[in-house]
Amino acid sequence: MSKDVPPSKAPGSAGSSLAALNDWVAQVAALTRPDRIHWCDGSDAENQALIEQMLADGTLEALNEQTHPGSYLHRSHPDDVARVEHLTFVCTTQREDAGPNNHWMAPHEAHAKMDALFDGCMRGRTLYVIPYCMGPIDSPLSRCGVEITDSPYVVANMRIMTRMGAAALARIEREGTERAARGERSDTFVRGLHSIGELDPERRFIVHFPEELSIQSFGSGYGGNALLGKKCHALRIASHQARSEGWLAEHMLILGIENPQGETHYVAAAFPSACGKTNLAMLIPPQGYRDAGWKVWTVGDDICWMRPGADGRLYAINPEAGFFGVAPGTSTKSNPNALATIQKNTIFTNVGVTADGQPWWEGLDNGQTPVTDWRGNAYDAAKGPAAHPNSRFTVSARQCPSYSPKAEDAQGVPISAIVFGGRRASLVPLVFEARDWTHGVLVGAAMGSETTAAATGAVGVMRRDPMAMKPFCGYNFADYFSHWLSFDGADAKLPKIFHVNWFRKGDDGKFLWPGFGDNLRVLEWMIGRVEGQAGAVETPIGYLPAAEDLNLDGVTLSDEARAKLFGFDHAGWSAEFDSIGGYLDEYGPRMPQALKDEQQRIAAALAR
């Protein structure tokens, strides 16, 4: 930890391009009054020193070095285990710009509130300055930020999740110099200020200032609230940037599907948290598909930035460098690639531990038994699960067996299909295709899902979650839908849009579709539709496959499963579209008329 420097001087900042960064760090230090300031360079030596510090003070606990080398356990405060949407605010000058989909606070009020919380909060602590790049370090689609934090746990996680350190700082300096030479504002990096504070739920706020490209988070150490490059920057702030710059920042996985002929199609898919994004991103094809030569490549499991290319197609990058995945349910059956990824160099948060120091969670099914639960107490099944339902792993994406060689391509990968999906026990079939881009935007806007443990509040409640962006869109959803519609230009070659539902249940309450690797059967049909080869049946809600349009070799489906997975409930969908119409009306006059017209067209077709 030898790079302690005065707050007025960033390493390598001989010129003036980092003057704004130096000034900001100095202002934050004057407010928070840390004992020390450390500029992070992202080196192995720095990381090792931080880990040794956290092992010494109990922030981390070493796990079994033989079974999980280089891996550690972190236990967060029991009241700090998930995103806190009710304490997360978007602070725009005009309230309507934040929209009804966000909690709003006036910028001046938010700054006053946060300044009071940050006042003196880092006494006795080290202030860490973390320069980072979201996306490949040399990609024009990438964007940079700097997070200031007093949490070494955040530093260690940001090193995994972003391109952090000296290379990012150099890019910030280079871009600032280039902008200054063009007479533009030079300090366009995103500024994130974080402190764990006292971990008091009554003094916990996460506020975003999209117009200032800044984020402030106080009182939480949980990843979604503290790793500011993730949801805060890569979605809430980036969605605002994307709207003004002509691209899309989305809560989507990116995967490549390579057929036996060696052709690869890339798919971006949006699902709410804990609804199978990581499982799909790391899918292993069924044996028959593997034998035939099918392969699946993982580009990203959570966030996707897409921009139109010169050829009119959308090109995507994964702005993240790691996975911050949900541990419970991850097993050799559900996601063997994820399990293989986290066997080394992984930070586990809020999982159980076995007698020999291995991480454990419900659904792991490895024959082990936990002795300690996520709170650090002796495990007692009668008192709750060993792992918190939202326990996590943080690991480098490069360790994934299916990691795509294209994941670091500066230009991104071309997207053939966009998939929306939610957790719906009834009504919604296995898969359907939107007729066109406008219909597809409506499909995404109307997406519904049952809530999961990734956010505080009740679990299992159905709510509309447009594009899986309800907790993450940094501005008014009505304007966001208009932005999506704007991509349908004369020269555009846009992806086809689909909706899937892996979670349809039968009368007995059990899932009707086997899911996991068998989801490739649905993706193969989508690619067939993209290539104009697969069959479908036209319905008012879109194009549905018949059961025979999918390769179901080796899959046994009951008559009920076939009827519900591939069927169309006319009366149920009529009621659904009435509900969708009411939902769109909630956004008032900003809701694009084209989307309302599309809803009314389908509702009228359903009424016939």
**Residues involved in catalysis:** 275
SS (H, E, C) 516-562: HHHHHHHHHHHHHHHCCCCCCEEECCEEECCHHHCCCCCCCCCHHHH
How many CB atoms are located within 10 Å of the residue 238 CB?
30
Task: For residue 390, say whether it is annotated as part of any ligand binding site.
Answer: yes
Ligand-binding site membership of 186 (annotated): no
222 is in an annotated binding site: yes
558 is in an annotated binding site: no
SS3 409: coil
CB-CB neighbours of 290 under 10 Å? 14
Q: What's the DSSP call for residue 455? A: B
Whether 64 has a binding-site annotation, put simply, is no
Q: Decide if 316 contacts 254 (C-beta within 8 A).
A: yes
Q: What letter would DSSP give residue 119?
A: T
**CA neighbours within 13 Å on the CB side: how many for 305?**
32
First to last CA, the chain: 71
The answer for residues whose C-beta is within 8 angstroms of residue 178's C-beta and 6 or more apart is: none
Q: How are strands ordered across the β-sheet holding 352-354? A: 359-360, 352-354, 370-372
293 annotated among ligand-binding-site residues: no
Known binding residue 231? Answer is: yes
Over the range 536-552, which residues count as b (16 or more CB within 10 Å of their CB) and which as e? beebbbbbbbeeebbbe
518 is in an annotated binding site: yes
| Consecutive H or E run containing 76 | none
**What is the arrangement of strands in the sheet containing 61-62, beginning at the earlier edge strand?**
61-62, 72-74, 347-349, 392-396, 322-326
**Among candidates 583, 593, 595, which has minimal Cα distance to 100?**
583
Q: Is 392 annotated as a binding residue?
A: yes
Distance in angstroms (rounded) separating the CA atoms of residues 113 and 207: 10
CA distance 595 to 430: 24
Compute the distance between CA of residue 5 and CA of residue 467 in angstroms, rounded to an integer: 44
| Distance in angstroms (rounded) separating the CA atoms of residues 189 and 143 | 7
144 labelled binding-site residue: no
277 is an annotated ligand-binding site residue: yes
State yes or no: 246 annotated in a binding site: no
How many whole angstroms separate alpha carbon 232 and alpha carbon 2?
30
What is the number of H-type helices and E-type strands within the chain? 17, 30
Q: Which position has the token pair 């086997």?
A: 514
278 is in an annotated binding site: yes
Residue 276 labelled as part of a binding site: yes
Ligand-binding site membership of 376 (annotated)? no
Which token pair is 419?
């998939």
Cβ–Cβ under 8 Å, residues 433 and 542: yes
Q: Tell me if 517 is assigned to a ligand binding site.
A: yes
Q: What is the largest CA-CA distance in the chain?
A: 74
The Cα 223–Cα 230 span in angstroms is 8
Strands (E) located in 448-512? 448-450, 462-464, 496-500
| Known binding residues for substrate | 83, 222-224, 273, 390-392
| Known binding residues | 83, 222-224, 231, 251, 273-279, 302, 390-392, 423, 516-519
| Known binding residues for GTP | 274-279, 392, 423, 516-519
| Known binding residues for Mn(2+) | 231, 251, 302
